[in-house]
């Protein structure tokens, strides 16, 4: 067992309240005598029981992503269900970095077996591995989702706080980014200006950088950007197996400013599908990732 | 089992009729699918004296269909002078609708289930169905389910002005978001099909179609409609120079490597076609001509969603299978009718059949199917010149090829039609 202190939550906190709290801490951090930057991660995990998917939201999510409406939970939908628990860790008083303005770098998820839409789930979230990044400080937020004590979903989300370093600011980065060769597209997504609002309406993630040009500008973005998890959800829709477990991961390169057309390349290689997306006009890479079918779902025989 | 198997008898193509095809939002902009298919049927009925007859079935379809047209073909039949006791049903398989309708009908004749039938198709992009937005539809559906004033008000409160924007049907593939032309652009580039080769094929299509009109080939295959007596897309005076001036219309993301233009791609078109088939006994009994046998047909589909195959390459697979089943080689044909969805589709398909690697890896063949005699390809023009009202193309091709084979008096013809969703239908006809 972990040496983390378990904080058992009574109910899922509202993301709106969490963002309000995050906005408050961001403000306080900017004031003289504000909270120390860098530092260490809280040695705590937040735990919530009795999470059940809202069927109407599930259908709305599947429609939004262009996926088939099924009674099993898409992996990104599970992420959305447990995101308030993860976020509650990141707005703790002793969390060393400001949540708002934090950059979402990547996700790695083990979707261990098909999860019923009616399943009663528990979620445990904690932060780990605070480390240096050339542009600031990065850390992982881990969430483990279980049904009846059996793990069914494990996710690692990696975030970056720009311009804040855990130790002294490192020298200029030696590595140069490899030039991006545009692959042959196999799909094209036309993302409307309201894409961020549509995702927020379904999964409740009302982070202002996704909602409108004005709210995004307030946080230093030139326009609203698509949720990383929206892009992940689109990539996974129709590409994940629905009768067995799978692993998937996505890395984000540059933000998708809305509205936008994203060209996407999918390639199937045996049990794996790799994908990448880039700006149809800009040619800039937005994301890349993969989906790997698990040969046999652990626990499927139980 | 074997003693219950009935002998399979030939299905004979007796003749066909279509209305001239018209470019979208032109001559037929006020005509509905029902109007056009009825016109094609009326002409066919008049030509072969079918008035009052109860046929075995009328099988046809449309790709773009209004929801009110749930029984489109039956409604058309009721509007003709065929016996009202003629059953009819709608088929839909994207651009292969006509081929599937005709092929399935031929199978019923072969099995002795029916003695006669009409197969065909119709499409209009001028009178296309326009649906309300998903937002408005959801509000309207909830409103119709609401039982109390409160529930009704709640449903109405969810209406947003943006929901007034209607949904028009598109030619995009739902799973990829790419238009059919943009999909073909990927395949065209993968097979290194040049702009010049595509323009040459397009020019040949116009010249061949014009020559066919010149020698009155279509006189007994067509009935004028709405003042139109020739396909309005045909440009007999086109030239390679004119075609070379056109800017790329698809695959524009390829920049300087884009080769597909409005000239070497089919335009949106309105039109209808119908083909009369029957058993030999039926044709003899009614003193009707027998142009060709509908020998066999085969459908295929490819894995295009993640790009393993090109969207419109299914016929390449279907041809390999139908040749094997009929113990024929690709060179055993006197005419090849390869539907020109895009010039690039035809040229990529021909290149694939010649490619040893493709034939081995994709078709599972030891040797490539090989090249065809290009002088036998689309000899009376095809969709680039005539236009392509999606479901009507199969009937146009079957009727024309049957007539060509009958004129020649011997030999075989191969039909290949690609379709949205990575599908395709191919068929073999034999002269009589």
How many Cβ atoms are within 10 Å of B150's Cβ, its own excluded? 9
- Identify which of B177, B253, B307 has the shortest CB distance to residue A190: B177
B-chain residues within 8 Å CB-CB of A265?
Answer: 307
Of B85 and B156, which is predicted with more confidence?
B85
Catalytic residue, from B183, B317, B388, B406: name it.
B388
Query: A262-283: per-residue pLDDT in tens?
Result: 999 999 999 999 999 999 999 9
Q: Is B359 a catalytic residue?
A: no
Q: What is the mean pLDDT of residues B104-121?
A: 98
3-state secondary structure of B356: helix
In the β-sheet with A285-293, what is the strand arrangement from edge to edge?
A5-9, A44-51, A121-133, A136-147, A150-162, A103-111, A246-252, A285-293, A272-279, A260-269, A187-191
Q: Does B308 sit within 8 Å of A184, measured CB to CB?
A: no
Q: Does B306 sit within 8 Å of A239, measured CB to CB?
A: yes
Q: Kindly provide the ipTM of the predicted complex, given to two decimals.
A: 0.85
**Euclidean distance between CA atoms B432 and B428, whole angstroms:** 13
Position A112 confidence tier, pLDDT thresholds 50, 70, 90: very high
Chain B interface disruption, residue of A69, A184, A186, most B CBs within 10 A:
A186
The answer to whether A267 faces chain B, any CB pair under 8 Å, is: yes
Q: What are phi and psi of B301, to 5 degrees?
A: -145, 150
Q: Which of residues 269-298 of A touch B (CB under 8 A)?
A: 273, 280
Least Cα separation, residue A40 to chain B (angstroms): 44
Position A34 confidence tier, pLDDT thresholds 50, 70, 90: very low
Residues above pLDDT 70, as percent of chain A: 90
Task: Transcribe B176-229 into DSSP letters.
Answer: T--BHHHHHHHHHHHTT--HHHHHHHHHHHHHHHHHHHHTTTTTTTB--BTTB-
> pLDDT value at position B328?
98
Q: Is B95 a catalytic residue?
A: yes
**Euclidean distance between CA atoms B315 and B337, whole angstroms:** 12
- Cis omega (within 30 of 0) for bond into A259: yes
Which is it for the CA torsion A291, A292, A298, A302, positive or negative? positive
pTM summary value:
0.91
B401 Cβ contact list (under 8 Å, min separation 6): B292, B335, B337, B413, B415, B429
Q: Is the pLDDT reported for residue B169 higher than 80?
A: no
Position A301 confidence tier, pLDDT thresholds 50, 70, 90: very low
A-chain residues within 8 Å CB-CB of B174?
Answer: 66
Contact A211, A197 (CB under 8 A): yes
Q: Is B76 a catalytic residue?
A: no
Residues above pLDDT 70, as percent of chain B: 97
> pLDDT value at position A140?
97
């Amino acid at each position: 067992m972990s040496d983390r202190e378990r904080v058992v939550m009574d109910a899922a906190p509202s993301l709106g309240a969490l963002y309000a709290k995050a906005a408050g801490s961001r403000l306080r951090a900017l004031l003289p005598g504000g909270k120390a930057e860098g530092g260490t991660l809280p040695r705590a995990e937040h735990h919530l029981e009795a999470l059940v998917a809202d069927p109407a939201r599930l259908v709305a999510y599947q429609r939004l992503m262009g996926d088939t409406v099924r009674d099993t939970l898409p992996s990104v939908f599970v992420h959305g269900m447990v995101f308030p628990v993860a976020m509650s860790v990141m707005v703790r008083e002793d969390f060393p970095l400001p949540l708002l303005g934090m950059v979402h770098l990547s996700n790695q998820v083990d979707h261990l077996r098909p999860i019923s839409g009616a399943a009663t789930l528990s979620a445990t979230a904690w932060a780990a591995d605070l480390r240096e990044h050339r542009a600031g400080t990065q850390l992982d937020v881990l969430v483990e989702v279980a049904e009846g004590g059996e793990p069914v979903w494990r996710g690692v989300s990696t975030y970056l706080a720009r311009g804040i370093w855990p130790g002294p600011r490192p020298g200029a980065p030696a590595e140069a980014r490899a030039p991006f060769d545009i692959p042959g597209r196999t799909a094209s997504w036309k993302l409307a200006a309201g894409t961020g609002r549509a995702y927020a309406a379904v999964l409740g993630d009302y982070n202002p950088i996704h909602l409108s040009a004005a709210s995004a500008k307030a946080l230093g973005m030139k326009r609203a950007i698509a949720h990383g998890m929206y892009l992940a959800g689109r990539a996974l829709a129709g590409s994940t197996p629905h009768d067995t477990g799978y692993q998937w991961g996505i890395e984000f390169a540059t933000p998708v400013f809305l509205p936008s057309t994203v060209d996407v390349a999918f390639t199937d290689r045996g049990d794996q599908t790799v994908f990448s997306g880039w700006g149809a006009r800009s040619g800039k890479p937005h994301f890349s990732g993969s989906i790997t079918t698990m040969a046999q779902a652990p626990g499927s025989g139980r | 089992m074997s003693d219950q198997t009935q002998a399979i008898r030939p299905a004979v193509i007796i003749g066909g009729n279509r209305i001239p095809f018209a470019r979208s939002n032109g001559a037929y902009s006020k005509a509905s699918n029902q109007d056009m298919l009825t016109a094609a049927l009326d002409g066919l009925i008049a030509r072969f004296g079918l008035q009052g007859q109860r046929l075995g079935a009328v099988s046809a379809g449309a790709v773009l269909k209004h929801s009110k047209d749930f029984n489109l073909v039956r409604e058309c039949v009721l509007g003709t002078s065929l016996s009202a006791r003629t059953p009819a049903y709608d088929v839909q398989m994207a651009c292969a609708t006509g081929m599937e309708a005709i092929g399935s009908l031929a199978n019923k004749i072969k099995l002795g289930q029916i003695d006669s039938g009409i197969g065909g198709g119709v499409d209009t992009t001028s009178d296309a169905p326009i649906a309300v937005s998903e937002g408005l539809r959801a509000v309207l559906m909830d409103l119709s389910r609401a039982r109390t004033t409160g529930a009704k008000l709640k449903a109405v409160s969810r209406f947003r002005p943006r929901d007034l924007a209607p949904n028009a049907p598109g030619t995009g593939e739902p799973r990829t978001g790419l238009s059919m032309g943009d999909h073909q652009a990927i395949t065209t580039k993968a097979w290194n099909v040049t702009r010049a080769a595509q323009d040459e094929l397009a020019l040949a299509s116009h010249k061949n179609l014009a020559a066919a009109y010149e020698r009155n080939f279509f006189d007994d295959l067509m009935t004028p409609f709405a003042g139109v007596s020739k396909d309005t897309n045909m440009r007999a005076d086109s030239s390679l120079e004119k075609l070379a001036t056109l800017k790329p219309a698809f695959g524009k993301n390829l920049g300087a490597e884009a080769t597909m233009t409005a000239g070497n791609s089919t335009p949106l078109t309105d039109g209808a076609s119908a083909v009369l088939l029957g058993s030999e006994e039926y044709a003899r009994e009614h003193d009707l001509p027998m142009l060709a046998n509908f020998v066999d047909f085969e459908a295929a589909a490819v894995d295009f969603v993640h790009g393993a195959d090109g969207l419109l390459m299914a016929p390449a697979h279907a041809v390999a299978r139908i040749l094997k089943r009929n113990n024929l080689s690709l060179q055993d044909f006197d005419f090849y009718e390869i539907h020109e969805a895009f010039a690039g589709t035809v040229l990529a398909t021909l290149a694939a059949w010649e490619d040893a690697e493709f034939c081995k890896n994709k078709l599972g063949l030891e040797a490539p199917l090989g090249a065809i005699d290009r002088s036998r390809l689309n000899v009376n023009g095809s969709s680039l010149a005539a236009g392509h009202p999606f479901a009507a193309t199969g009937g146009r091709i079957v009727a024309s090829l049957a007539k060509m084979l009958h004129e020649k008096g011997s030999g075989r013809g191969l039909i290949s039609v690609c379709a949205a969703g990575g599908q395709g239908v191919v068929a073999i006809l034999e002269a009589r």
